[in-house]
């Protein structure tokens, strides 16, 4: 084959890619994760983007997905019986996927959000065009209060594993997880892609201050859904022991677990924080702390970087992979290490400096688009 013929063949192969994204989950963090990827790629002329997204009554993709992504929305059913049926065989989204595949004939069908409810469908319709994003190779520990909750958790874990086992193209944004995936699935294509920013346009432009913090600033901030694996109990204990408790407040903002605090200097905002409140929440913080016990992937660092905040984080692999000059580390799970680092960063703040370009280096839309272009053309 001559040089010109080979070049023409290469150009044909690198034609515009028609993508169908599936976002069937809407748990904390999944909506901004999927939305950023879908919207960013929909602005790139190399892609024709389509997406199918599932909305619940409380969490929705509506109003967030760009019209250029040709969104189709499916509502999560109401009522116990319908919900049980949906978890076994989610008719609504499966019918939409079938219709989209028939009408669009996409080059890529990418399941972005774990999509455990689609595990049976995926395993029965294995397609080389399938791509699957692995979020948590090792599920977080979850405390269940009933047999039903335990069975639901086990079903979710089974769904994640089934999807990983049958889909031939796996993506992750964690290098340590990538190494494990390539060891477990030697015959599969396992690719590292950048973690998308969680900073939405509403977050960028938001000006509303959380009502609980109207006259408070200069605090230590934990932000996000409060689950046991995030180590918030360790942060509370370390803060109570520290020398700065009398002069600084700790704010724990996000829906989830509650704690017996017994201190006026620790403020627990146990509710969902709206996007238009996030900017003021971060801007008035002195230090952001992420004391996670474990995390395979997380976008929380993007928020702190965007608002040019110093960060104290546990030394789990994912945080180290996405570290900038803003971050100092303490030993994961070690209250003494956390307390010492907390005191140093607050008492000797002049010794710590913010890397102004860290956010753009890690979370630029151009880098995200290029990575996915390479992913689908590899």
Q: What is the pLDDT of residues 239-259, one digit of tens each?
A: 999 999 889 999 999 999 999
SS (H, E, C) 120-138: HHHHHCCCCCEEEECCCCC
State which CATH number among 1.10.3720.10, 3.40.109.10, 3.40.50.2000, 3.10.50.40 fits the domain covering 201-362. 3.40.50.2000
According to CATH, the superfamily of the domain at 3-196+364-377 is Glycogen Phosphorylase B; (3.40.50.2000)
H/E stretch holding 278 reads helix 275-283
pLDDT of residue 8: 47
**Residues 131, 135, 136: CA angle, nearest 5 degrees:** 130
- On whether the CB atoms of residues 134 and 177 are closer than 8 A, the answer is yes
| Separation CA 102–CA 99 (nearest Å) | 5
pLDDT of residue 113: 96
DSSP 89-130: --HHHHHHHHHHHHHH--SEEEE-S--GGGHHHHHHS--TTE
pLDDT of residue 57: 87
From residue 138, give the alpha-carbon distance in Å to each of 142, 160, 218. 12, 10, 36
Stretches where the chain sits below pLDDT 50 are 7-9, 11-12
> Which pair of structure tokens corresponds to residue 370?
């290029």
| Separation CA 358–CA 284 (nearest Å) | 20
| pTM, rounded to two decimals | 0.89
| Separation CA 49–CA 368 (nearest Å) | 15
| Separation CA 208–CA 9 (nearest Å) | 54
- On whether the CB atoms of residues 55 and 76 are closer than 8 A, the answer is yes
pLDDT of residue 12: 44
Would you tell me how many other CB atoms lie within 10 Å of the CB of residue 274? 12
Q: How many residues does the chain have?
A: 378
pLDDT of residue 11: 46
The pLDDT > 90 percentage for the chain reads: 74
The ranges of the chain annotated as CATH 3.40.50.2000 are 3-196+364-377, 201-362
Nearest CA-CA partner of 317 in 139, 135, 176, 140: 176
Q: What is the pLDDT of residues 202-224, one digit of tens each?
A: 999 999 999 999 989 999 999 99
């Amino acid at each position: 084959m001559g040089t010109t013929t080979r070049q023409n063949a290469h150009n044909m192969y690198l034609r515009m890619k028609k993508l169908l994204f599936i976002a069937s989950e809407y748990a904390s963090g999944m909506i901004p994760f999927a939305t950023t990827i879908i919207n960013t790629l929909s602005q790139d002329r190399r892609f024709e983007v389509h997406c199918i997204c599932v909305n619940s009554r409380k969490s929705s993709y509506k109003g967030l997905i760009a019209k250029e992504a040709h969104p189709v929305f499916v509502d999560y059913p109401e009522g116990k019986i319908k919900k049980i049926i949906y978890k076994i065989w989610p008719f609504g989204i499966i019918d939409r996927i079938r219709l989209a595949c028939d009408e669009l004939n996409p080059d890529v069908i990418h399941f972005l959000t774990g999509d455990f409810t689609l595990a049976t469908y995926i395993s029965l319709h294995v397609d080389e065009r399938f791509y699957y994003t692995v979020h948590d190779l090792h599920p977080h520990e979850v405390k269940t209060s009933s047999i039903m909750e335990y069975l639901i958790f086990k079903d979710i874990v089974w769904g994640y594993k089934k999807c990983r086992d049958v889909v031939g193209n796996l993506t992750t944004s964690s290098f340590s997880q990538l190494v494990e995936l390539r060891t477990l699935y030697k015959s599969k294509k396992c690719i590292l892609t950048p973690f998308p920013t969680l900073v939405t346009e509403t977050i960028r432009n938001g000006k509303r201050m959380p009502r609980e913090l109207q006259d408070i600033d200069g605090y230590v901030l934990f932000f996000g859904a409060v689950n046991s694996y995030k180590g918030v109990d360790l942060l509370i204990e370390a803060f109570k022991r520290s020398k700065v408790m009398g002069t600084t407040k700790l704010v724990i903002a996000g829906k989830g677990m509650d704690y017996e605090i017994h201190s006026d200097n620790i403020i627990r905002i146990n509710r969902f924080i709206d996007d238009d409140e996030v900017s003021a929440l971060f801007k008035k913080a002195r230090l952001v702390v992420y004391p996670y016990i474990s995390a395979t992937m997380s976008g929380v660092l993007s928020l702190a970087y965007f608002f040019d905040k110093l960060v104290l984080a546990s030394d789990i692999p994912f945080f180290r992979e996405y570290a900038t000059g803003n971050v100092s580390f303490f030993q994961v799970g070690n209250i003494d290490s956390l307390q010492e680092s907390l005191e140093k960063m607050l008492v000797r703040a002049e010794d710590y400096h913010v890397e102004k370009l860290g956010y753009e280096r890690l979370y630029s839309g151009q880098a995200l688009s290029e990575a996915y272009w390479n992913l689908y053309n590899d």
